[in-house]
């Protein structure tokens, strides 16, 4: 699917009505290959960042968070703080994303989280129904704009995202992130759910109030994805008062000069 060249009123209306919008193959084959190689290099410890938070799944199925790469494996479940990597930062600052954030946020934009999510081959782990908002995120504003990008083909078999189109219009359903059983029954009836399959290199704009989940990966192939959540640069942590890395605006990070991430920005885990 060819990438959108501009984000216009029709796209805005569709996004607000359905809670998602396919942006097309924003990454060229070479750009996709570069990000795939970079995330593998980070997982295998060939590219290292001192203040990067990683989550690895242990043999007993428990998730352990590390600061920096401690284990050389392609089975990391999640990696945060990728805006400190020049390749990922450059992608976060894609001109189309700048158009979108200017419309919904303004000129001064920070990134709440820049997150790699991984379903390694045959990982039998599901992600329950939830919205990407709520008190658990620990910030004073709920963002509404996330760009999710497939780094591998995301299919039903590999545990692609499932969504309820239009569920963003309910507003915040549960401040505690995951839905209890009674709310699942009310808001996610099977007939309303669709599988959001995507090609590697395809980006999808998601409203943070959109209900979504993902199933297990039953294949021998990985299902990797990258997600960036954008918000007003004035947004602060409720606990520490800190703001977050600026990606558009007067103090925006520059891929040519970005150099790690300050320790104080990773002392508290948000989201």
Domain ranges of the chain: 9-235
State residue 154's pLDDT score.
96
- Architecture of the domain made up of 9-235: Sandwich (2.60)
For residue 85, what are the CA distances in angstroms to 79, 94, 150, 175, 211? 12, 15, 18, 31, 30
State residue 177's pLDDT score.
76
Residue 192 structure tokens: 């309303």
* Phi-psi map region of 199: left, alpha, beta (phi>0 left; psi -120 to 50 alpha): beta
H helix runs in 49-178, sequence order: 86-92, 95-104
H helix runs in the chain, sequence order: 9-18, 29-43, 86-92, 95-104, 181-187
Q: How far apart are CA 201 and CA 220, in angstroms?
A: 20
Structural contact between residues 26 and 3, judged by C-beta atoms closer than 8 angstroms: yes
pTM of the model: 0.95
Phi, psi of 213 (to 5 degrees): -155, 180
State residue 122's pLDDT score.
67
Residue numbers of the chain with a pLDDT score lower than 50: none
Q: How far apart are CA 75 and CA 242, in angstroms?
A: 31
State residue 140's pLDDT score.
93
Q: How far apart are CA 88 and CA 54, in angstroms?
A: 16
State residue 59's pLDDT score.
66
State residue 64's pLDDT score.
84
State residue 79's pLDDT score.
97
Q: How far apart are CA 246 and CA 105, in angstroms?
A: 13
């Amino acid at each position: 699917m060819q990438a959108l060249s501009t984000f216009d009123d029709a796209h805005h209306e569709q996004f607000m009505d359905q809670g998602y919008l396919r942006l097309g193959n924003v990454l060229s084959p070479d750009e996709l290959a570069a990000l795939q190689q970079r995330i593998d290099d980070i997982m295998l410890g060939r590219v290292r960042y001192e203040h990067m938070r990683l989550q690895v799944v242990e043999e007993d199925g428990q998730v352990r968070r590390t600061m920096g790469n401690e284990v050389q494996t392609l089975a990391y479940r999640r990696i945060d703080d990728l805006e400190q990597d020049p390749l990922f930062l450059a992608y976060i600052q894609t001109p189309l994303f700048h158009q979108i954030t200017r419309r919904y946020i303004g000129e001064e934009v920070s990134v709440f989280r820049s997150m790699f999510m991984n379903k390694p081959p045959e990982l039998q782990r599901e992600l329950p129904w939830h919205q990407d908002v709520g008190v658990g995120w620990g910030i004073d504003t709920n963002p509404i704009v996330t760009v999710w990008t497939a780094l591998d083909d995301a299919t039903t078999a590999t545990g692609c995202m499932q969504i309820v189109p239009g569920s963003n219009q309910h507003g915040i359903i549960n401040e505690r992130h995951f839905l209890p059983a009674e709310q699942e029954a009310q808001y996610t009836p099977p007939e309303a759910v669709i599988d959001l399959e995507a090609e590697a290199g395809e980006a999808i704009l998601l409203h943070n109030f959109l209900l979504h989940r993902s199933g297990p990966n039953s294949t021998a192939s990985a299902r990797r994805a990258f997600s960036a959540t954008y918000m007003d640069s004035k947004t602060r942590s409720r606990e520490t008062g800190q703001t977050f890395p600026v990606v558009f605006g007067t103090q925006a990070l520059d891929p040519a000069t970005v150099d790690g991430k300050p320790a104080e920005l990773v002392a508290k885990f948000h989201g």
